[in-house]
Amino acid sequence: MNRRFWKQFAIALALFLAGYFTFNSKAFSQTVEKPKVSIAVGGKNLFYYLPLTIAEQLGYFKEEGLQVEISDFAGGAKALQALVGGSADVVSGAYEHTINMQAKGQPITAFVLQGRAPQIVLGVSNKTMPNYKSVADLKGKKIGVTAPGSSTNMMANFVLAKAGLKPSDVSFIGVGASAGALSALRSGQIDAISNLDPVITMLQQKNEIKVVADTRTLKDTNEVFGGPMPAATLYASEAFLKKNPNTAQALTNAMVRALKWIQKAGPSDIIKVVPESYLLGDRALYIEAFMKVREAMSPDGMFPEAGPRTALKALQAFEPDLAGKSIDLSKTFTNEMVKKANAKYH
C-alpha cells in the first residue's frame, strides 16, 4: 500500500514537473530579448505623439516587461539621427522617414501606426504677412519648422511644391514644438509656421496666424495629400526587429493598448494622465486642441493599404532624388505585430 502510494506520487510529480517546465519554457520563449529599450522622439508634448505618452504614463510598457527610456529631441529629424547614430533603439516618428532612409540604403521599418492624419498645420503670420493672398507669397520668406528635415518641413515642402515653389525658394528655421515655436512667430523671426497642436491652436485662438493647409482631420488630409497619409509611427532598423521580435511585439502591445484607451477617453482623462508641462499653462486650450485632433489618432495601430503610396507620391513631389529610385513600400512598414496586439487587446 505504501509502495503503491509512493509510486503514484512519483508519477504525479513527474507529470507535474513535465507540465511545469513545458509551460515555463513556453513563457520563457516569449520573454523580451531586450528589457531596456531607448526610444527617441521629436517633440513629445505634441498630440502627434500622445499614444507614446499614454503608454508610458499608464505603465503599459512596464506591464509588457519593458523598461523604456524616452529621449525628447527638437524634431523628428533629430530623433532619426539618434537611431542612425546608435543612441536609440526605436524612434517614435513620422512614417515618411522609412521611405527616405530606404532610398539612402539604410532600411528602417515602421511597425505600429499612432496617427492616421499628420495633424500638421501650415500657417502664415498675421504680423509679418498681413496681406497674404496665396502660397506664392511665401517665396523668399522664413518658415519655422520643428527641425529641418522633420515631417513639419516635409509637409511645408509639399504645399510649396503644389504651388510651384521649390524648398530652396524659402528659408526653413528650426523652432521646436513648444514655447520656442510660439516666441519665434510672435517676435517676427519667422513669417510662417509648420507645426502641430497644441501650438497651432494657441496661435489660432489669439488670431496670430492664417491657416494655409491643415491636416488635423481625415477630410483635410485627403484634400492636401490626395489620400490617407500615415503620420506618427514606431519605427526601428530591420536588424533590430529581426534580432528582437518579442521586444518589438511588447512595444506594439503597449502602444495598441494606449490607442484603444484614447478612443474611450474623455478630454479630462487625458489631462489627468499627461504631464502638467504639456498643457502650456492653458488647460481649456489643451482640451480644445485635443478635440480638433482626436480623429487623427489611429484606432488600432494598423497602416492603411493606400497610405504608404500617398506618402511616397508626396515625397516625390519635392525630392528629386526619390523620383528615379525604386522604393519597395512593403519593406517600409508591417502590420504583423499590430494584428497580434489587436488579438490580445480586442
Tell whether the model's pLDDT for residue 75 goes beyond 70. yes
The tens digit of pLDDT for each residue in 220-261 reads 999 999 999 999 999 999 999 999 999 999 999 999 999 999
Total-model pTM: 0.88
Tell whether the model's pLDDT for residue 9 goes beyond 90. no
Q: How far is CA 257 from the centre of its chain?
A: 15
Q: What pLDDT is recorded for position 321?
A: 82
Q: How far is CA 280 from the centre of its chain?
A: 21
Q: In whole numbers, what is the pLDDT of the chain averaged over residues?
A: 92
Q: What pLDDT is recorded for position 25?
A: 35
Angle (CA) 341-297-96 rounded to 5° is: 85
Over range 1-15, report the average pLDDT. Answer: 66
The tens digit of pLDDT for each residue in 110-124 reads 999 999 999 999 999
Beta sheet of 171-174, edge-to-edge order = 171-174, 142-145, 192-195, 121-125, 209-214
Best CA proximity match to 80, nearest among 20, 136, 107, 40:
40
Other Cβ atoms closer than 10 A to 331: 13
One-letter amino acid at 271 equals: I
**Better-predicted residue by pLDDT, 25 or 74:** 74
Over range 14-26, report the average pLDDT. Answer: 51
Tell whether the model's pLDDT for residue 323 goes beyond 90. no
Q: What pLDDT is recorded for position 206?
A: 94
CA–CA gap between residue 204 and residue 292 (Å, rounded)? 12
